[in-house]
A and B are shown apart, each in its own frame.
Chain A
Amino acid sequence: MKTGPKSGANRAEPLLRVASLSKRYVQQRTFSRTEFTVNAFQDVDLELFRGKTVALVGESSAGKSSLARCLALLERPDSGKIEMEGENLLALNRKALFWIRRRVQMIFQEPVSALNPRLTACEIIAEPLAIQGEGTQLQRRERVLQLMEQVGLDAKWERKLPFEFSGGQRQRLAIARALSLKPSVLILDEALSNLDAPNQALILELLGQLQVSHSLAYLHISHDLRLISQFADEVAVMYGGRIVESKKTHDLFAAPEHSYTKELLATVHSVESILLARSA
């Protein structure tokens, strides 16, 4: 993490720092007083840096998505800290929170349901700008066309509706929308898992380019370890609501420590050996 001694003060200083963050849900049944508490995640520490990608892996009930939602300020964690450049976001009042939202944006797994089916492509991308009250309608449109170009969508499609786009194009639309507010952190919640392999590669490439050009910090939630090995700078493994292991990607793949990580890697290796055996 803090390796480069003077290679940039920005790099040493995390953009987003999460410290001992916890969230639990309380459920209550009808006609019953007993309450059930479910720990979504506990004591999570995480640091995101500009231009770097942290991958978050783990089982489907490990609390990854809850964590993502808390980081996107969609839910309030019960305890802990979320710091953006040293400022604790959980201590902010509503107005300041409204302002800070633009800095963290989220890309969802299913691009179909992530886009309002009633809005055109242009309206969808302009939506965050409109909500945050940025620019005139004309300026917003200008920005939309610019963004569409950036994510590889033809500007002449601006009047199209979400269902007229393909899966990969929809995800590009979602990315353009997320970028419209010039965020510094992008949370990708299984953003590639609903795409076919060629589209995965294309979107991954696009995300890579955008990361460089916008110096974005990515938190990439995924369970595709092979994919992760290609792009993540660091991998955090989540198990039972806790981050059990967090390392540079190379180190993790080379020397997994936690038993769950070992298990995960073993499945990948076995799948690979099967594929190798078949192709041979």
Chain B
Amino acid sequence: MKYFARRLFHALLLLLAVSIFSFAILQLTPGDFFAPLGLNPQISSRTIAGLRSQYGLDRPLPVRYGHWLVDLLKGDLGQSFAYNSPVTPLLAVRARNTLLLTGTAMLLAWLIAIPLGMWSAVHRGKWGDRAAGVMTSALLAVPDLVSFLVLLLVAVRTGWFPAGGMVSSSFGDLSRWNKMKDLAEHLFLPALGLAIATLPTMLRHVRSAMIEVLEAPFIQAARAHGIAERRVLFRYALPVAANPLISLFGFSVGTMLSASLLVEVILSWPGIGPLLVDAIMAKDVYLVIGAVMLSSLFLVAGNLLADVLLFAADPRIRVE
């Protein structure tokens, strides 16, 4: 329990640091949300100054940060200038969409990586394993941006999949089953793109972790007892190989999130990504910080979850 208390404390500290940095860095960029209004001759500088003080932008940074922090404890992430509404509900919807996308992609990636990685490990050196190796190298070499654009091209050219958005415009009129289907169709390409972005690393880790375990003497001993190969793989090797994979899971949350920002923008998935880009362009400070904080929260939570899983999976960590 002490272990988790410490991890949680570290996580909170990290989030605090991220918030301070976000504030400081956004302060360093020139101009603010109301600066472009000054270009309009019909708006007086007094009006703009009034708006600034209304939204608290005229106060010094530490004061604004203090206010933001106090409001945060009440669950209020501040006000979005562009949407003229509180940031929290705006983000909540987007966060749900991003989680749906990354969650699906994560599931997809692991569902491919574990069996394929195990298969590669068992058949290492054979042509199938080599083909998989060449494939993962190729995928690693292709920048995410390119593979996402290819997916977009496929969607547009073939028309098999919707080329953007999360649901069709007629979504409201659909039956429950068709709603699911519609959502799944929209989800497929972005999720596939994300899975492709993270899959090669995972595959290689699964393969090498399995190879290492399969060569361990305890596996040989079990074989000398006449154990069935399938049982070796699933009951002996996989649980022991799970440790590095669980750590990788925590790590992959980060990769997944940063790749998801890109995939969301390119395949116009209404997640945090496009919102963040727009908010940065418009200097919608509190929305930017809210989105950054949310992404950091996901990342930290993913790693925390990996720690918990590791704790649950490995008795050695439990005793320490």
A residues with a Cβ closer than 8 A to B are 28, 30, 69, 72-74, 97-99, 101-102, 104-106, 108-110, 113-118, 127-128, 131-132, 161, 163-164, 174, 177-178, 181
Contact = CB atoms under 8 A, between A and B. Distances in A.
A121 to B, nearest CB: 12
In order of increasing CB-CB distance, the 3 nearest A-B pairs are A108-B217, A128-B225, A114-B217
A108 B216 CA distance: 10
Contacts of B223: 74
Interface string B216-228: 1110111111110
Contact of A102 (B216, B225, B227, B240): B225
Interface of B: 125, 130, 133, 216-218, 220-227, 231, 236, 239-240, 314-316, 319
B218 A113 contact: yes
Given A108-B217, A110-B217, A115-B218, A101 B224 contact: yes
B218 A69 contact: no
Contacts, number: 69
B225 A131 contact: yes
Contact of B226 (A108, A114, A131, A163): A131
A118 B225 contact: no
Given A69-B220, A115-B218, A117-B240, A101 B315 contact: no
A178 B224 CA distance: 9
Contacts of A99: 226
A112 B216 CA distance: 10
Nearest to B134: A30
B222 A127 contact: yes
A48 B130 CA distance: 42
A181 B319 contact: no
9 contacts: A72-B224, A73-B224, A99-B226, A106-B221, A109-B217, A116-B236, A118-B239, A132-B226, A174-B221
A106 B231 CA distance: 20
A204 to B, nearest CB: 20
Q: Which of A30, A113, A132, A178 has the largest number of chain B CB atoms within 10 A?
A: A113
A177 B224 contact: no
B224 A74 contact: yes
A132 B226 CA distance: 7
A210 B231 CA distance: 31
A114 to B, nearest CB: 4
B217 A113 contact: yes
A125 to B, nearest CB: 11
Contacts of B218: 113-117
A217 B288 CA distance: 74
A129 to B, nearest CB: 9
A29 B181 CA distance: 47
A172 to B, nearest CB: 15
Nearest to A161: B315
A204 B113 CA distance: 46
Contacts of B216: 113-114
